[in-house]
Amino acid sequence: MSEPKFQIGDDLYVREPTRYERDVISITGRVTAIGVSRHDGSPTYHLDAYVSKIGGGFQQPTHVAERDVGLRLGTPINQLSGRVNEPGYEAFKGIALSWGYD
């Protein structure tokens, strides 16, 4: 087995999610386990994934090949808050500081 690029706990996105499920817009999730492909010995990832489709989405455990995933960059907007002492405020503040705001 080749060394996995990602670790348990990493947030990933799936490139070309329609390879896994038709009519899917995106698949994102956190790595919960790492396995080995029976076909070529490459790493595979088990994700606690959120699957988005037109009209809604759902939570679903998903198993994907390493060639189809990348690190999810950034912080989803629904995890930010501009209000002091609310969940998401520290992430919001970090982004603001990175852009030169106090």
For the chain, the domains span 1-71, 73-102
What is the tens place of the pLDDT at every residue in 60-96?
Answer: 999 899 989 887 766 777 778 889 999 889 888 888 8
66 exposure class (CB count in 10 Å sphere: 0-12, 13-18, 19+): middle
What is the tens place of the pLDDT at every residue in 16-73?
Answer: 888 888 888 888 899 999 999 888 888 999 999 988 888 888 899 998 999 898 877 6
Would you identify the CATH topology of the domain 1-71? SH3 type barrels. (2.30.30)
Contacts of 43 (CB under 8 A, 6+ apart): 1, 2, 3, 4, 5, 6, 34, 35, 36, 37, 66
